[in-house]
Structure 1
Amino acid sequence: MGRPKKIDDADLLAAAREVFLERGPVGAAKEIARRAGISEAALFQRFGTRDALFFKAMMPPSFAAEELVLRAAADAPDARAALAAITRGALVYFREAIGSALVMMSHPEFKLAEIARAHGGGNPGATLIRALAHWLTREAQAGRVHCPDPQASADLVVAALHSVVLFEHLGIYDREAGDARALAAIDALWPALEPRPSPGIRKEKPHGKR
């Protein structure tokens, strides 16, 4: 019977991710082992090579985009509040995922297809676009938004989130400013999405005016 592991894979990968985020793909295995509380030999027994450990640790997490959208829509009083809630939830995810992806792309063996394969053939950004477009379509059908092109609107929201997170990594925004700019992007988009009155309903003129 083998000896029990002193640290589970999730904790080991978390320690590796910390080091790779700090130092890039050349993060020292010795430092990872030290933070994880195991030997370098035990580290490589688990993952084989440093590159294998790197890609396992830095793979962006999966994203339950449809769940986020449905939960925000159920909890929000109206479509505009739901869109703001979706934005805040997605921003939390993209901060983690894009940080990992930027470090992954600096590795000479990086292949974008590996991210897609790990996420069932797609990628988290595309997953959010689809979920958001489907929600906008339903909201438009119910008359709660005006959205002739749900796909384009979803593209704009996700592009804005990506830009905000990239600007944070570049030092242009801090987190607080990033939160504000993401919600400001939704405010800028909302006039195009705001529901229109039915063309069959005429507004009454104030009394005394012809």
Structure 2
Amino acid sequence: MARPRGTSDEEILEEARACFLEHGAGVSTTVIAARLGVSHAVLFQRFGTKEQLMRAALLPPSEPPFLARVRAGPDDRGARVQLLELAEDISAYLERIVPCIAVLRSAGMHLCAAADRREDPPPVRARREIAAWFARAVARGLLRPVAPEHAADLFLGSLQFRPFHQHISGNGFGQAEGRAYLEFVVDVLCRMLDPAEEPR
């Protein structure tokens, strides 16, 4: 069966992603092909092997989309507003990517092995860029002087916990609760790093 004209590579990857997330790494390419209305041979023609299809469907991008906002900031607005924007972007990204990483790991694939060896893996680059954001915020007087790497780790760690917990436990969080949590994280961080507060 030939691939229907209307089925793009991105549509194939979206359906493959959905199947891998629903059934795990062991799902047959026949199942994926059937949901697309194509033969499994078409999948191999387009993506080579099942492993290559899985990587194309599930690997995170080499550049997380939130890094554009990180590199552009901070601006002259208050730290709380800007950190909340970052928290929303990063949290949305993690909610999408954590289940994909779990499926890849269950198949024995590692992100670092798939990354370009000439540069740091995406999580390492993201941490470095967020630490640089905190350093710039300190220099602008938006936050009190702290080790930017520690602030980045605290911020990222707070955001990473819930998507991992949700994936492992299977218990989802509602949108309102998720928003309240992000506001709580940012409020706590801003209180700790308020430049008007004396360091303890």
Q: Could you tell me the TM-score, scaled by structure 1's length? A: 0.80
Which residue is 2:137 aligned to? 139
* Unmatched tracts of structure 2, length 5 or more: none
Whole-Å separation in 1 of the counterparts to 2:22 and 2:139: 47
Which residue is 2:150 aligned to? 152
Which residue is 2:49 aligned to? 49
Greater than 3 Å deviation, 4+ residue runs: 3-6, 70-74
Whole-Å separation in 2 of the counterparts to 1:70 and 1:42: 40
Whole-Å separation in 2 of the counterparts to 1:72 and 1:55: 32
Structure with the greater relative contact order (CA < 8 A, sep ≥ 6): 1 or 2? 2
The amino acid that maps onto 2:126 is L
Deviations 1:149-186, CA, capped at 9 Å, x for gaps: 11100011111111011122223451423332233122
Which residue is 2:187 aligned to? 187
Whole-Å separation in 2 of the counterparts to 1:187 and 1:70: 22
Deviations 1:130-158, CA, capped at 9 Å, x for gaps: 22211211121121111321110001111
Q: What is the CA RMSD across the aligned residues, in angstroms?
A: 2.5
Structure 1 residues 173 and 40 mapped into 2: Cα distance closer, same or farther (>3 Å)?
A: closer
Does the residue aligned with 2:90 lie in a helix, a strand or coil? helix
Structure 1 residues 197 and 139 mapped into 2: Cα distance closer, same or farther (>3 Å)?
A: same
Aligned sequence identity (%): 28
* Unmatched tracts of structure 1, length 5 or more: 199-210
Which residue is 2:40 aligned to? 40
Structure 1 residues 65 and 131 mapped into 2: Cα distance closer, same or farther (>3 Å)?
A: farther
Is this contact kept in 2: 1:33–1:39, CA < 8 A?
yes
Deviates more, 1:45-54 or 1:88-97: 45-54
Which residue is 1:162 aligned to? 160
Whole-Å separation in 1 of the counterparts to 2:192 and 2:27: 47
Whole-Å separation in 2 of the counterparts to 1:179 and 1:171: 19
Does the residue aligned with 1:60 lie in a helix, a strand or coil? coil
The amino acid that maps onto 2:50 is R
Aligned residue-pair number: 193
Whole-Å separation in 2 of the counterparts to 1:31 and 1:13: 13
Whole-Å separation in 2 of the counterparts to 1:55 and 1:197: 47
Which residue is 1:112 aligned to? 111
Which of the two has higher C-alpha Rg? Answer: 1
Q: Could you tell me the TM-score, scaled by structure 2's length? A: 0.84
